[in-house]
Amino acid sequence: MRNRGAKSLVGLTRREALLAAVAAPAMAGNLGAWPIGPDLRAAARVSNRFFGAAVQADQLRHDAPFREAVMGQCDCLTPELELKWAAVQPVAARFDFARMDALAGFARHHGKRLHGHTLLWHRSIPGWARAAIAETRDWAIIHRFFAAVIARYDGIVDYWDVVNEPIEIGDSPTHLRRSPFLDAFGLDYVRRALDSARALSPKGRLLINEYGIEYADLASESRRGALLALIDRLRQQGVPLDGIGIQAHLDLQKGQLDQAVFARFLQDLADRNLLVLITELDVREADPRLPWAERDEQVAGAVRAFLDVALDQAAVRGVTTWGFSDRYSWLNDDGRGVMQPGRNRGLPFDAALRPKPFVQAIATALRRVPYIVPPPVEIVPLQVDSMFDTTPPP
Ligand code: XIL
């Protein structure tokens, strides 16, 4: 039993593979219903936005019904694992693009775009790089990695998460997270990362992607403040930053979203001329003992409260969910490293690929046409004297 959670070659646990095999033929027959089902791509087009999902190449390769559903609903795919540094450069002298190429191949074949997730992330540094950075403090190590992935995928990537999760309150005077990057290159490493990315991708939209900035609790408030301060420092230095990715890992245990607080934050970003993407939307449930229908309503309610505010903001260009169906979700981990499809019901489609109220919530929100504030009208002062006789009576 010790191996129950072990990943097979295709990245699935044995249990996942078995469940996928059982579910796949059953679902194939249901696909005929798709054209009349919710169409998230069409909904996104209404307001000139996009809908996307994070997926793994192996899921698309081995699970045909899942692939069909993803391709039917998404404009853009985020590699859940394939582009991370530890995945593409496991040893210093060798880049391994096999899985990322497979995902890019699917995307190209089906006319999809990719979200470039992610260049610098403290949780995905290959061991050799961690050691080399600490020892040499040589930025060229980072630049070589950036150059390899950007050169290969820039043509199909619109947005790059150049720095992922840089904020951690209390870790440093400016609340930049303590990481091998901060240790080796100091507080300036975010600027260097964005400058390097811009040199390699003149047209890519360069983002900082962050979590824990959605709710109104004190911790989230501090994280928002630290992020805005970072943005302002970068802007003062003329650093190329085009936008912010808001991860949006919603959590029912955190209670209701304060819509006014979140709307204010989005406006703070928009006021800084930044574009905003919702990059990793999913919902962690609070009580898995409730009936499915009730759970799905709670999840959809949280999504509705969030997206109705997010998509009222014209700066928000698109929505990506972190996963697509409960069949494959990082939230399905049972706490002991064993993946259980459908354990958490926090994605748009259930483990059998049936749409849940979550889908309706996204579709409705996506159809909101962003309200663009009209430019102030110049008021020409009336030429009173030429229109009226203003001569005072004698
Ligand atoms: C997660 C993946 O979903 C997991 O499968 C992996 O084990 C760890 O990374 N924020 C991010 C994503 O920016 O890259 C993370 O993805 C989830 C949290």
Distance 85 CA to ligand 1 centre (A): 13
Q: Which atom of ligand 1 is nearest to the CA of 209?
A: 13
Comparing 218-232, 255-269, 368-382, which segment has the lowest mean pLDDT?
368-382
Q: Give whole-number Cα distances, 161 to 116, 204, 216, 342, 348, in Å.
A: 6, 10, 25, 28, 23
Q: Specify whether the CB–CB gap between 100 and 82 falls below 8 A.
A: yes
Cα–Cα distance for residue pair 279/261, rounded to 1 Å? 19
Nearest 10 degrees: Cα torsion 141, 146, 151, 157: 170
- pLDDT, tens digit, for every residue of 151-172? 999 999 999 999 999 999 999 9
Which pair of tokens denotes residue 386? 């030429």
| pLDDT value of residue 21 | 38
Q: Which atom of ligand 1 is nearest to the CA of 211?
A: 10
Distance 9 CA to ligand 1 centre (A): 19
Q: Which of 59, 327, 330, 339 to mutate to test the pocket of ligand 1 (most atoms within 8 A of CB)?
A: 330
- pLDDT, tens digit, for every residue of 37-77? 579 999 999 889 999 999 999 999 999 999 999 999 999 99
Q: Which residue's CA is the nearest one to ligand 1's atom 16?
A: 80
Which pair of tokens denotes residue 121? 């992330």
- Mean pLDDT over residues 220-232, rounded? 98
- pLDDT, tens digit, for every residue of 277-317? 999 999 999 999 999 999 999 999 999 999 999 999 999 99
Cα–Cα distance for residue pair 20/378, rounded to 1 Å? 62
| pLDDT value of residue 343 | 95
Spell out the residues 6+ positions from residue 26 whose beta carbon is closer than 8 angstroms to its own.
Answer: 352
